[in-house]
Structure 1
Amino acid sequence: MTRTDVASRTVTAPPDRVYATLMDPEAMLQWLPPSGMTARFERFDARPGGGYRMVLTYADASGAPGKATADSDVVDVRFVELMPGVRVVQAVDFASDDPAFAGTMTMTWELVAADDGTRVEIRAEDVPDGISAADHAAGLASSLSNLAAYVDR
């Protein structure tokens, strides 16, 4: 696991509002799941050292079978660093019996003030080998698009 995936997008909201949206479980259920998925939390604790367990369910798993079950992915996330208005660093583990999804991926959400809002930059390090680069890029882009629609309304 040495792959790093990156994605970014500028949204019109200021960094503090974007950060609040990254830490609000009700908001996250609206914007975080990529297109074709829904989500629910089994737990959520927004503090350094806290984290969440999220179940993502595919609307149609025929083209992308889940990592945890036939139609779902389950992620256990620990908040490594929370810097309001600036950065969220997460340690992400997939619940899966498949060794291709083993290991901890580090996701950093960096918020950079821009003239027209906030540049949201995602850096996913140590992406598990079982996650295709194309699918991950599409998922990150979809979540960023959803985030923009959520905070720009």
Structure 2
Amino acid sequence: MIDPDRRPKADPARRDRATRQIAAAPETLYGCWTDTAKLARWLPPDGAEAHIEALDPRPGGALRMVLRFASGSPGKAGNAHDVVRARFVTLEPPHRLVLDIRFPSLDPAFDGTMRMAWRFDPAPGGCLASVEATQVPPGIEQDIHERALASSLANLDRLAQTL
């Protein structure tokens, strides 16, 4: 068990962000959060594949997902994979979702609960999709995390064009 006094602390001022203009309605993009097949297609960043073990998009509901990396990334859970355990905090269809996310890991640098807020705001030609992560565990490098978030939004854009 990790001694809470020795655990690395998240920087309270840190905000990891990504945004993307997507030619789709907020309802379409929000729907990609509530369908396991669609979520598995767009949420994993480039170089990863997802297996959704549970999806219950309601306040207090769970998201459990395993990400497998082909790029040789060691992953937070080891053996080139991450385990994602999340709880939906807020759902405001079709514009906003907030989740608290944990990555089980033996490395204390990944310990803690990260909050992610996803927004789908109407904009000319579709909507502005954005994500902001706070309370990010210090083991997650900000530049790599922001590239991964941008990659997920690019995947969502590609998926939305097929719907």
Which is higher, the Rg of structure 1 or of structure 2? 2
Unaligned 5+ runs, structure 2: 1-9
User: 1:106-125 alignment to 2 at 5 Å?
Assistant: 106-125=115-134
Distance 1:28 1:152 in 2: 15
TM-score in terms of structure 2 length: 0.90
Q: Amino acid of the residue matched to residue 116 of structure 1? A: G
Paired-residue identity, %:
43
* SS of residue matched to 1:151: helix
Q: What is the CA RMSD across the aligned residues, in angstroms? A: 0.9
Alignment-derived partner of residue 133 in structure 1: 142
Alignment-derived partner of residue 16 in structure 1: 27
Q: Amino acid of the residue matched to residue 126 of structure 1? A: Q
Structure 1 runs of 4+ aligned residues shifted over 6 Å read none
Match of 2:69 among 51, 58, 76: 58
Distance 2:54 2:83 in 1: 12
Identify, as 1 or 2, the structure richer in strand: 1
Unaligned 5+ runs, structure 1: none
TM-score in terms of structure 1 length: 0.95
Query: What is the number of residues matched between the two proteins?
Result: 151
Distance 1:139 1:65 in 2: 15
